[in-house]
Chains A and B, each alone.
Chain A
Amino acid sequence: MLEVLFIGLSLGSILLLVALGLAITYGAMGVINMAHGEMVMVGAYVTVLSGIYLHTNIFVAIPLAFIVTALLGLLIERVVVRRLYGRLLDTLLATWGIAILIQQAVRLEFGLSFFGIHIQGLGPGLQNVSVPEVLQGTFTIAGADLNRYRAFIILVTVILSLLTWFIVYRTTMGTQVRAIIRNPKMAAACGIDVTRVNALTFALGSGLAGVAGVMMSGFKTVFPDMGTPMVVDGFLVVVMGGVGSLLGSVFSAGILGEINGLVAAATNDILARAVVFGVVIAIIVLKPKGLFALKGR
């Protein structure tokens, strides 16, 4: 039973890992960032490439991926998203386009494959990320064999959640972000540089996605399309938890993960997935603003 609960917890932590960045970009800024999955993918490729060219392992890739994807996020915000604030559907289309561009850039090796140049680690194929020996296999707690890599993911997710909580609730920038969530115009009137804060928030959200990508690369397949299904799961978590609520995302990821794990153990994975979607629909119908909606006036 402990093993089943552990798997549920692990599923929840993976959901949260992807959703954390979305909770910030979608929750705080009102941008439906369809390119979020591609940020995860870029993070995974940073792991692959740093392994090949720098001979470093997955631990080094975490800060590296954060920096790369945060910078990429900053660029996207500057060039495209900045012009689209307040236009929810337009952000969806624009970021979807960006998602396709990023995917193809990786698949076509930034266009070099047209000239017959092959960059090892890029291209349409499946990539291999080697996982350090420490993170392979199992460890035993209370008679249950638990998966080390999954435990590592849970650990990283907890650290990132705490860090995000700290940034949003205990720093000046966080206070400004929360003010912008409540009312961007009023925040601007109070002297907050909304443009700058938004740019940094978007970069932070993208950076978190990059770290999620590093974690995914260790046990899922790394290929250009890998991010697309993840972004759907991420939105499920954020919407169910309540847009703009970090705590809501944590809870909804945990609940969905455990439901998935328990139903899958009792029946099968295909049914479990259907039940998860059913639960999300029920919650959206009963509580349209999500579990932990912000009380606004």
Chain B
Amino acid sequence: MAVDRRSFLKSGLLAGGTVITSPWVFSTGARAAGEIKVGVLFSLTGGLSIIEKSLHDATMMAISEINAAGGVKGMKIAAVAEDGASDPKTYNEKASKLVIQDKVPTVFGSYTSASRKAVLPVFEKRNNLYFYPTYYEGFECSKNVVYTGAVPNQQLSNFIPWIIKTLGKKKFFIVGSNYIYPREMAKVSKILIEKNGGEWIADEYLELGHSEWGSMVNKIKGSGCDVVLSNVVGDSVVAFYREYKNQGLTHDKLPICATVTSEIEIAAMGAEYAVGSYTSFPYFQAIDTDINKAFVDRYRAFVKDPKAVTHHALESSYFQVFLWKQAVEKAAEITPVAIREAVKGQEFDAPNGHVKIEAENLHTYLTPRIAQWLPDGQGKIIDAYKEPIMPLPYVAYGETPTNLFCTSKGLETSKLNKT
């Protein structure tokens, strides 16, 4: 079959929608003999570097472990690390650089939804592959992203009923930072609260990075709620928990139940401010298994900091590299599309337990857990599912395991419109 240049280019450009043709054919020169390049894209500078540096480190640690064990298909992984600089625009530029210039078949990266949304067009247009390790708000269905963090049904579907039934708290004050993740989480929470017979009495937001909580905490105090659901993100978390205690609120009477507060924030605020509050995540540093303890030790040695903490997004950054490695070993050729097809259904024994990539929506089966924070800054896991549950990125819109909105064919928008 003769293919002229123009129609070949055209089909290449259209490849975002097709699977068979990929612009990847251009870039066979990408691999030096015995080496696979991958992109690693996190913020090493700027405000978000606090957390993203740890995700970068976890990714590099996984790569060095795989290389030490012989690499993939006998080839070493060569990481091309770029700095997203806490800025979505920079993220987009660096992603383009990795995909077009370095011709990597996969990029691992992003912490915030803003940065993921910024790089998404690059990966969809070039039909490349992005591994995203952070818990996020769902409502996304891309063939070019593998999501290894929790989606709302893995953080809230266990949490809200547990708060209402086990803690016996019924009146929710929902508080969050003012952007897409906390707002979508609040949407899911409200549905679950109403379904379980509770009520929400307020839904309030503060700017991202805001650290003046006096008025908000005073409002919480006067609202008559009996539990606070926090989707507060970033350094605001620290100021929030401190103000909470300093205005005389206690977690035994009016607990904060959080979806973002992890080991990192607890260490920064001082554990005494969070003692008794709750967080829902699939992974905690305190998970009492040999595989996790060894993981924590290895991470601390890797970053040369004996007090370093591990957290959910960090752990996902780590295990997703292994899922990728297994996919590359299974794939017939090292192209983004072949890796994507091969990653479907991959399973791995991660520090948090058994994980598996759902073939339909490329999200990850994870085990929901709830922890209560202890004076030493670690979570005590007080509720956990027996096994990983299916990821449902559209759960707020009525998605169920038997009625998926996001499948390998793409998003079925007709289902979305019905709700």
Residue numbers of A with Cβ under 8 A of B are 3-4, 7, 10-11, 14, 107, 116, 118, 124-131, 136-138, 145, 147-150, 218-223, 225-226, 229, 260-261, 264-265, 268-270, 272-273
Query: Can you sample 28 A-B contacts with CB below 8 Å?
Result: A4-B218, A7-B218, A10-B214, A107-B49, A124-B49, A125-B264, A126-B50, A131-B270, A137-B245, A138-B246, A145-B221, A145-B247, A147-B214, A147-B246, A219-B243, A220-B239, A221-B269, A223-B50, A260-B215, A261-B215, A264-B214, A264-B215, A265-B215, A265-B218, A268-B204, A268-B205, A269-B206, A270-B178
A residues within 8 A CB of B80? none
How many Å lie between the Cα of A260 and that of B278 in the bound state? 31
Assuming the contacts A11-B212, A147-B214, A221-B268, asked whether A136 and B245 have C-beta atoms less than 8 A apart, the reply is yes
B residues within 8 A CB of A130? 270
A residues within 8 A CB of B270? 128-131
- In the complex, besides A126-B50, A222-B268, A261-B215, 12 extra interface pairs with C-beta distance below 8 angstroms are A125-B268, A126-B267, A147-B248, A219-B239, A219-B246, A220-B238, A220-B239, A221-B269, A264-B214, A268-B204, A270-B205, A270-B207
- Looking at chain B, what size class is its interface with the partner chain? 35 or more
Chain B residues numbered 151-202 whose CB sits less than 8 Å from any CB in chain A: 178
How many Å lie between the Cα of A31 and that of B371 in the bound state? 51
Produce 1/0 per residue, B4-31, CB < 8 A to A: 0000000000000000000000000000
Cβ of B167 to closest chain A Cβ, rounded Å = 23
Query: Nearest CB to that of B52 among chain A residues?
Result: A124
Partner of B207, one of A10, A14, A261, A269: A269
B residues within 8 A CB of A131? 242, 270
Contact present for B238 and A270 (CB under 8 Å): no
A residues within 8 A CB of B380? none
Query: Nearest CB to that of A126 among chain B residues?
Result: B268
SS class, residues of chain A in contact with chain B = mixed
Partner of B248, one of A124, A138, A218, A265: A138
B residues within 8 A CB of A273? 207
Cβ of A224 to closest chain B Cβ, rounded Å = 9
Cβ of B210 to closest chain A Cβ, rounded Å = 7
B residues within 8 A CB of A272? 215
B residues within 8 A CB of A10? 214
A residues within 8 A CB of B253? none
